[in-house]
Structure 1
Amino acid sequence: MYSDNEEEKAVSRNVLYIALYVGLTLISPFMPYLSEELFQRLPPRTTNQPPSICVTPYPEPEEYDVFLDEEVDEKFKFGQKVISEVRSAKAKYDIPHKVKIDLTLQSESADTRATLESLIQDIATLSIASNIKVSTENPKGSVPTPVNADTVAWMKLQGLVNLGKCQEKIQKRIADAEDRLKTLESEMAKPSYDKVPEDVRARNDTKKLDLLAELEQSKDAIKQLEAMETE
């Protein structure tokens, strides 16, 4: 909305208008007065637009099938996970939410890197990052935050936090991950595990990979912090 690209601004306005229009019609039966007040403030887009939300047809799912894009949805869900992990990490390291950070997103997968590149502005805005890049290399002066088994978000902490306290928190995270991994492996080792539904076993396999990746990355974070202390 604040860019100099008029086409992008027009798309943003149209998306916002549709979201407001449909959202207001959806809540109209439950919040008639508020929805009517806001509806009247929306500028009409067509000459035959209903004069009141009371006589506006209720939205039907098939009307909006054209907006469904599962691939885009999955990509943005992935972006949301990155943002969530970064914001959680800032809280763990006692970094105030509004403090901007340098962020490096790392993945060995070319497809994942392409997805991250396409979402880089959204991630930067919602995670409050002043500088963000996608790379395959470990940046100096940063600690990793696991997103999944394939992706790591590296946050530059030098000058922002107490490195000693950060090490303590990461050690606690390692201990917690080791406990969860031990519990999961114990469940998977039971003789009756073969009777567990296939989809549950598949989820457990993914959890195990994520926990192993988290442990490896957390231990690497300790090494990174130790290296920072000697710089």
Structure 2
Amino acid sequence: MPFITEELYQRLPRMSDKDPPSICVATYPDTEECPWRNLEIEAEVDFVQKIIHLVRSARSDYNLPNKTKTEELVCGFSDDETSASLKKYQSALSTLSYCSKMEVSTSPPKGCVILTVSDKCEVHLLLKGLIEPAKEMLKLQKKQDQLQQQLNKLKQAMSAPDYEVKVPQEVRQTNSEKLNQTEGELLRLESAMTTLKSME
């Protein structure tokens, strides 16, 4: 990155002889000098990244390799603004989510897993024909058992009478984060298993 940045800097036109000879010794630009920040675009990209993360997590839950392309149908949006924003990033969404195509639709086909993005949008990921429901169900049940054991151990450790006194604050915080993460994973697995049952 430093080499690319320096190369780009050297190709910029010089406004005067007083311009720094290298980006390494240039002052960091302030907002008055470079008022180019666009909060609207940042919010849009954050939203798109959230969708990509959800789709990739779902693909991982169902053990889909990257070379197996799915159809990603984004629907359930409640306003035209969200729809327009999604259409703008269709290419990026399909590429980074390993999907053959991405459409903004209000009528998804059967055999989709539903991923809730926000109160204004949900993603329908078409899995029918790409997975073997019975085989994947066994894998998810095994993973569910492992996660449940981890959750039980954590809860047992955190419910000890002297937990708040003997366990350092950093460890308690880490355990709390692990607990929330494990519970979240279990909820995702339950949702995935429900979808698999509907495909049998």
Per-residue Cα deviation, 1:178-224 (whole angstroms, up to 9, x for no partner)? 13312321232122332456686566555534433432342232232
Note the residue ranges of structure 2 that are not aligned, 5 or more in a row.
none
Q: Which residue of 1 aligns with 2:185?
A: 214
- 1:94 aligned to 2:94? no
- The structure with more helix, counted as a fraction of residues: 1
1:127, distance to aligned residue in structure 2 (A) = 1.1
Distance 1:178 1:206 in 2: 16
Q: Which residue of 2 aligns with 1:48?
A: 15
1:157, distance to aligned residue in structure 2 (A) = 0.6
Distance 1:184 1:54 in 2: 56
Task: Name the aligned partner's letter for residue 183 of structure 2.
Answer: L
Q: Which of 116, 140, 152 is the aligned partner of 1:182?
A: 152
Distance 1:104 1:70, change over 3 A: closer
**Cα RMSD between the aligned structures?**
4.9
Contact 2:6 2:22 (C-alpha < 8 Å) held by counterparts: no
Distance 2:187 2:146 in 1: 13
1:48, distance to aligned residue in structure 2 (A) = 1.1
- 1:126 aligned to 2:96? yes
Distance 1:104 1:119, change over 3 A: closer
Note the residue ranges of structure 1 that are not aligned, 5 or more in a row.
1-22
1:174, distance to aligned residue in structure 2 (A) = 1.4
SS in 1 for 2:25: coil
Task: Name the aligned partner's letter for residue 96 of structure 2.
Answer: L
Q: Which of 142, 164, 167 is the aligned partner of 1:172?
A: 142
Contact 1:144 1:221 (C-alpha < 8 Å) held by counterparts: no
Distance 1:154 1:59, change over 3 A: farther
Task: Name the aligned partner's letter for residue 149 of structure 2.
Answer: D
Task: Name the aligned partner's letter for residue 218 of structure 1.
Answer: L
- 1:225 aligned to 2:192? no
Task: Name the aligned partner's letter for residue 162 of structure 1.
Answer: E
**Which structure has more RCO (C-alpha within 8 Å, separation ≥ 6)?**
2
Contact 1:146 1:214 (C-alpha < 8 Å) held by counterparts: no
Contact 1:36 1:54 (C-alpha < 8 Å) held by counterparts: no
1:164, distance to aligned residue in structure 2 (A) = 2.6
Task: Name the aligned partner's letter for residue 15 of structure 2.
Answer: N
Contact 2:72 2:94 (C-alpha < 8 Å) held by counterparts: no
Task: Name the aligned partner's letter for residue 86 of structure 1.
Answer: V
Q: Which of 126, 132, 141 is the aligned partner of 1:156?
A: 126
Q: Which residue of 1 aligns with 2:53?
A: 84
Q: Which residue of 2 aligns with 1:58?
A: 25
The alignment's TM-score, normalised by the length of structure 2, stands at: 0.59
SS in 1 for 2:96: helix
The alignment's TM-score, normalised by the length of structure 1, stands at: 0.53
Contact 2:6 2:23 (C-alpha < 8 Å) held by counterparts: no
Contact 1:36 1:53 (C-alpha < 8 Å) held by counterparts: no
Percent of aligned pairs with the same amino acid: 27
SS in 2 for 1:191: coil
Contact 1:50 1:56 (C-alpha < 8 Å) held by counterparts: no
